[in-house]
Structure 1
Amino acid sequence: MMGAQNLQLQPSTNALAPSTKNFEGLITPFLQPTKFNRLRLTSAISRIRSTRRQSLCAVISQKVDDVRVSLRRHDEKLNGKRLAVFVSGGGSNFKALHAATLNGLILGDVVVLVTNKEDCGGATYAKENDIPVVLFPRTKESSPSELVTTLRKFNVDFILLAGFLKLIPVELVQQFPKRILNIHPSLLPAFGGKGYFGMKVHKAVIASGARYSGPTIHFVDEEYDTGRILAQRVVPVCAFDTPENLAARVLQEEHQLYVEVVAALCEDRIIWRDDGVPLIQSKEDPQHYS
């Protein structure tokens, strides 16, 4: 056996193990900032700062633009028209118009709702949205002058009929000349007049064999559906249409057309031809009329 003295450990003198001095020599170039590295580092920091500055400026610029747009819309809203809407039923056109005033498509506000049925869907919607509701006629003895007075109190600029099934009093027409619009679910003068409303119109259109129908927006005079036509939108009548199917397609066009027309009305883009026909001036091209 070997003696214990032969097992004593000696400090390693392995040539492969670098000395501390040599190890420091290996890492020194990576840890010590040279002039070249300092320049690259300074340049990188400058680029980062410049990028951050540009990004910050872009964000601030966007915020300023957003504020400007918001202020412009606010100013437009302050100068917008005051609208009264008349309904007798669910008021889907009324809801579409109101939504358009809220999102800025129409530069105006619905300031009052007039109805002859205070429990109808349109009246319920108005109350839920804090729009004053006026019942007319309130009694059989109600005078049109009372309604005119009420509308004057609300400083109404335009009256929009949206499924109102009562004949508008002559006094109201006279007090608001060329300022009352109605929407009808057929291409007037066809299928219009007393008794033509709602599903009755669509049944009559299909029974006639007409190939086209669609909504008409016209100014209101003293009779049913005889005022000057302002806008129409054509809807095809399909071979096996039901009144319900046709009504749904026409109603979809009604919502869009009424918003477009009221937007033009509130922007004073309704022009009257010498022969008394109203035209809509294009917003994009003022030389174009429809």
Structure 2
Amino acid sequence: MLRVLVLVSGGGTNLQAVMDAVKAGNITNAEIIGVISNNKNAYALERAQKAGVASACISPKDYESREAFNTEFLKTVDDMQPDLIVLAGFLVVIPEAMIQKYRNRMINIHPSLIPSFCGKGYYGLKVHEAALARGVKVVGATVHFVDEGTDTGPIILQKAVEVQNGDTPEVLQRRVMEQAEWKILPKAIDLIANGKIQVIDGKTVIEA
């Protein structure tokens, strides 16, 4: 049984999608063992509580230095003994020691088709604002492994979503969540839980 730890900063809609998929049997051989947020007001913590999932809040603001936070953060994660870490809208820079320790065992969901509209500064609504400003006709979401770069790790799954006339960033954000993020994040976890994904030469290979 794959032990899944979810890290989230906000409302936790992707967390909910994952919990729902586990409950519905769309994610097999996996259990959510914990939720960590850097924001004590994150609704995601309430979602975890309602689902009976262990949760913790650990914020850089509560530490005198980033090094002190990183040490405590990594300890909190290690104590939960996860097999897979899922970044579901987590707006904290992951310590390098943690990336190395959980190499190819930490995944992120990004609301664009990487390599478009990704990297430093592209998160949340900013991604959709940039896509609309550029006038692209297709957007989407990507699940990828986390490495030392920003949105540069091996890509696991992607799903395209069409832009429609009159879209606002908020409307587009919602459609990308519903049509892409909430589908491919649970699917990626299920593939990993069932041993269907390998990383070879920096690229993922998915078993048929």
TM-score (norm 1): 0.66
Q: How many residues align?
A: 202
Structure 1: segments with no counterpart, 5+ residues? 1-79, 283-290
Tell me if the contact between 2:104 and 2:199 (Cα under 8 Å) persists in the aligned partners. no
- Tell me, which stretches of 5 or more residues in structure 2 are unaligned? none
In structure 1, distance between residues paired with 2:148 and 2:112: 19
Question: Does residue 249 in structure 1 map to residue 175 in structure 2?
Answer: yes
Equivalent residue, structure 1, for 2:63: 140
Question: When you count helix as a share of all residues, which structure comes out higher?
Answer: 1
2:9 counterpart residue number = 88
Could you give the per-residue CA deviations for residues 115-134 of structure 1, whole angstroms, max 9, x where no partner exists? 10022110111122222212
Are the equivalent residues in 1 in contact too, given 2:113–2:140 (CA < 8 A)? yes
1:145·1:171 contact (CA, 8 Å) conserved in 2?
Answer: no
- Report if aligned partners of 2:156, 2:204 keep a CA contact under 8 Å in 1: yes
Shift of 1:171: 1.1
Greater shift, 157-166 or 215-224, is seen at 215-224
1:258 aligns with 2:185: yes
Match of 2:199 in 1: 272
How many angstroms apart in 1 are the aligned matches of 2:74 and 2:207? Answer: 30
Kept after mapping to 2: 8 A contact 1:116/1:135: yes
| Partner Cα distance (2:2, 2:122) in 1 | 31
CA RMSD of aligned residues (A): 1.5
Letter in 2 for 1:224: T
CA deviation digits over 1:25-74, x for unaligned, max 9? xxxxxxxxxxxxxxxxxxxxxxxxxxxxxxxxxxxxxxxxxxxxxxxxxx
CA deviation string 1:86-132 (max 9, x = no partner) = 00111000011112222322221111111100221101111222222
Structure number with bigger Rg: 1
TM-score normalised to structure 2 length: 0.91
Q: Which amino acid aligns with 2:163?
A: V
Q: Structure 1 vs Structure 2: percent identity of aligned residues?
A: 36
- Matching of residue 219 in structure 1 with residue 140 in structure 2: no
Structure 2 CA distance, aligned partners of 1:268 and 1:148? 25
Query: Which residue identity is paired with 1:260?
Result: K
Instruction: Name the aligned partner's letter for residue 183 of structure 2.
Output: Q
Pairing 1:109–2:31 present: yes
Name the structure, 1 or 2, with higher relative contact order (CA <8 Å, separation 6+). 2
| Segments ≥4 residues shifted beyond 6 Å | none
